[in-house]
Structure 1
Amino acid sequence: MTIIEEHRTEVRVGNVQYQIAVVANPGARAEQGRVTVTVGGEGPEGEPVAHGRLDLDTAAVPTVADLLAGSLHAFAGTGGPRRRSGERPAQQGKPWSAELDAELESAWLAGEPVAELARRFARTAGGIRARLPRVGCDPERPGHHLPAPPSLRGPAEGAGE
C-alpha cells in the first residue's frame, strides 16, 4: 500500500476558481523527499488564468514559499505579508499558569520594568502589558494594582475620593 501525503485547496475569488495542490511524491515521505506544487485557475468561461507546477525538495519548501509570497505581493503592489523582525520570544502566545500570574503580579508590584519582565517571562513587552490587568495590576503605574471599581469598594473606600 502506498500512502501519499497531500493538501488541496480550492477557492473562488470573484468569477475565477483557483486550485492549489501540494503532494508528496509517491514513494517518498514528505519529511525527507520531494513535493509537487500544482497551481491552476479558470475564468468564468473556463479560460486558464493560472497554471504552473513546481517540484521541490521538502527542505526548500519554507524558503520557496516565502520567496514566492514576497515576490508575487511585490509584483502585485500589495506590499506583501507582514514579517516579524528577529526571533519570537519562547513563551509568546502560550498560556499563563496561576503560578506565572502570581510571579508577574509580585514582580510588577516590586517595581520591575516591563522590558525586564518580558525577558524574564520570555514574552513580548506588549504581552506583558496585556497580562498585567488580568492579574489586577495597573500597566500605566508600575508598582500599583488597578483600583477597585466603585461597585466593589467598601463604604469607607468610596467616601472622600
Structure 2
Amino acid sequence: METNPHCLDTLRKLAHGLDPRTGQALPGGDACQAPEVIRALFQAIQALEAQGKVRPSPEQAGKPWNEEEEQALLQRFDEGEPVTAIARAHGRTTGAIRARLVQCGRL
C-alpha cells in the first residue's frame, strides 16, 4: 500500500498538537491531545515511514483548474485517451480527473 505524503503530513501535525487544516494549536481538551492518542499517531507515522512507499502527490494536486486545462482534459477524454494517461499529462490524480469529468457532465 502506498501512502500519500499529504496523509503523513496530516498525521504529523496532529501528533504535534496542531490542527492540520489551520496550523493552529489544538485546544487542550481535544482527543488528539490525549497521551495515548499522541503515542498512537507517532507509531502510525513511524510504521508508514518504515514501509518506504510514500507516493508523491502529483504536481497539480489540489490546484484550481483553469479554462485552458479543462478544455484540454475534455478534448483528451473525448478522443478516448485513458483516464490514467490524462492524469499523468495534467499532473493530477485519476480521482481528480474523474471528478472534473463528472463536473463537466462527461461522466
Q: Secondary structure at the match of 1:80?
A: helix
CA distance in 2, matches of 1:137, 1:94: 21
CA spacing shift, 1:116–1:10, aligned 2, 3 Å: closer
RMSD, aligned α-carbons: 3.2
Residue of 88, 97, 100 corresponding to 1:119 = 88
Partner of residue 80, structure 1: 44
Query: What are structure 1's unaligned runs of at least 5 residues?
Result: 1-6, 19-40, 42-48, 50-68, 139-161
CA distance in 1, matches of 2:96, 2:24: 35
More contact order relative to length (CA 8 Å, sep ≥ 6): 2
Q: Return the index of the structure with the highest Cα Rg.
A: 1
CA offsets per residue over residues 55-86 of structure 1, 9 Å max, x none?
Answer: xxxxxxxxxxxxxx6xx2167xxx636x6831
Identity of aligned residues (%): 32
Higher strand share: 1
Q: Which TM-score applies when normalising by structure 2?
A: 0.56
CA distance in 1, matches of 2:102, 2:41: 40
Q: Is the counterpart of residue 103 in structure 1 residue 67 in structure 2?
A: no
Aligned length: 75
Spell out structure 1 runs of 4+ moving beyond 6 A: none
Higher helix share: 2
